[in-house]
Each structure stands twice: as structure tokens, then as C-alpha cells.
Amino acid sequence: MLVVEYQKRITCSTDTLLNTLLDHSNLDRFFNAKFKVLKPANKDEITGGKGCIRQVSILGVCFEEQIIQADQTGICYQVLNDFPVRQHRGEIHFQKTGEHTQISYRIQCQSPWYIPKFVLKDILQKDIQQCLNRLGDMYDPR
């Protein structure tokens, strides 16, 4: 199992981070991918939250992700159908500390035979670092 992680302190509330990261159609502000909601969240869940299925398009590859948990503690999602990687699960956790929120982003998955582990790990690491750094720049402008 391949695991990548990145953490960042951001000056905003957990609610702000939650709402920003569940605004699927605007996630391209943070990721080099486009997101499109295919199925809304389950009834009685927050908008974009648990049950929501989104299509992710990156470098000409499309796949689907499902939100499996979303609240003030964080967001968890999984890639459906084991493509482009197998058993992909993303976990984003929020921990409020004073005026900051510590955000931890962790991805675990299995690399397919045609992508060397070190290559996939590097791609995923850069992706989550870029996401959290851009998110931080949005709330902590220099």
C-alpha cells in the first residue's frame, strides 16, 4: 500500500475549509483537475457531502470519486472502480488550534502494474502539497 501525506496550518475555520473543499465544481482552483458532480449528497447530508459522486478529469483520464464522510472533522473519499489506481482512499482531517486550522491530507492506494510506485508517490505527493499550499494562499495571502 502506497501512502502520501501533507499537513498545513491555515488561518480559517473548519467550516470554511469544509465548505471550500466540498465546492466540487471549483476545486480546480487547488488541483490540476476538473470536477463535475454526477450525484448529489445523500438526503439530510451537507451539500457536496456523504454520498456525493463526482467525476474527476485529469490529463485526459476520467474517473469517479465518492464522498464517504464529510463534517467539521474532515472529508473522506474513495475512487470507484479501482481506476486509475486501486483501493484509492483520501482522508482530509481538520483540527482547530486557536485562529488556525491544521489540515492533514492523506492518500493511500495501490499502484497498478504499469505505474512504478515511486512515480505514483511523487505525483500524488506533489498534488496534495499543491492543493494545500494553494488553499493556504487563499486564506493566508502573502
pLDDT tens-digit map of 7-36? 999 999 999 999 999 999 999 999 999 999
Domains in the chain: how many in total? 1
CATH of residue 113's domain is: 3.30.530.20
- Which of 51, 48, 55, 57 has the alpha carbon at shortest distance from 23? 48
Share of the chain above pLDDT 90, in %: 84
What angle (nearest 5°) sits at the alpha carbon of residue 7, between those of residues 128 and 139?
A: 85
- 90-99 mean pLDDT: 94
Q: Note down the domain range covering 79.
A: 2-139
